[in-house]
Amino acid sequence: MTSTKKPSTNIRQGFKTGEHIVYPSHGVGRITSIEEQEVAGFKLELFVIHFEKDKMTLRVPVPKIASVGMRKLSEPTILKKALETLKGRARVKRTMWSRRAQEYEAKINSGDLVAISEVVRDLYRSEAQPEQSYSERQLYEAALDRMARELAAVDNLTETEAIKLIEQNLLKGPRRAGKGEAEAEAELDAAEEETDTEEAAA
């Protein structure tokens, strides 16, 4: 198998080297080069994508770009819609936590910025509210990280500035549940999580 790097000016499927992209399951990355490999006598072009925060490099065949859902950074209109979504009322389904967690994970890995902002909104807890469970916190941080990285790349901000902007928009949302109601909800979630664990163990 041979591999050669192509000139940096290459454009394939509307993508070019040096630009930031969004890969659904990993978030924001940058196309560092386009390589050509020879596999069983066929030449195959690959995007070399580097994810700086994860210290990871991915090689994606150019013909598979559409099927893996790789996309360009969001347009300002999508960004605005995502930030507006954060100001909305949290929509928490009254279903078992394991099912909700799967839905949140699917949204995070969809690569859809507005869907990711819905997860951030729904799992956000203000200081007046009870702490999240460990699994809730993990999903919230994963969604926040994905959103902040794309926001930072589009608006040329640092990740810290992007997180601050996200949190400012979350605080503009309607008053969250009163402490008593929120605590009751947290207790219900904790009980559901325990039940889910017991069912999984059975």
Domains belonging to the chain, first-starting first, are 3-72 (2.40.10.170), 76-201 (1.20.58.1290)
Cβ atoms within 10 A of the Cβ of 26, count? Answer: 18
- Rounded Cα distance, 54 and 120, in Å: 21
- Rounded Cα distance, 30 and 129, in Å: 38
For 15, the 3-state DSSP assignment is: strand
Q: Which of 67, 66, 69, 85 shows the shortest CA–CA distance to 77?
A: 85
Give residue for tokens 């979630």: 189
Predicted confidence at residue 184, as pLDDT, reads: 44
pLDDT in tens, 98-121: 999 999 999 999 999 999 999 999
**Mean pLDDT for all residues in the chain:** 83
**Cβ atoms of 150 and 28 closer than 8 Å:** yes
pTM of the full structure? 0.77
Q: Which residues pair with 126 in a beta bridge?
A: none
Predicted confidence at residue 200, as pLDDT, reads: 52
Residue 6 has pLDDT above 50, yes or no: no
Residue 195 has pLDDT above 70, yes or no: no
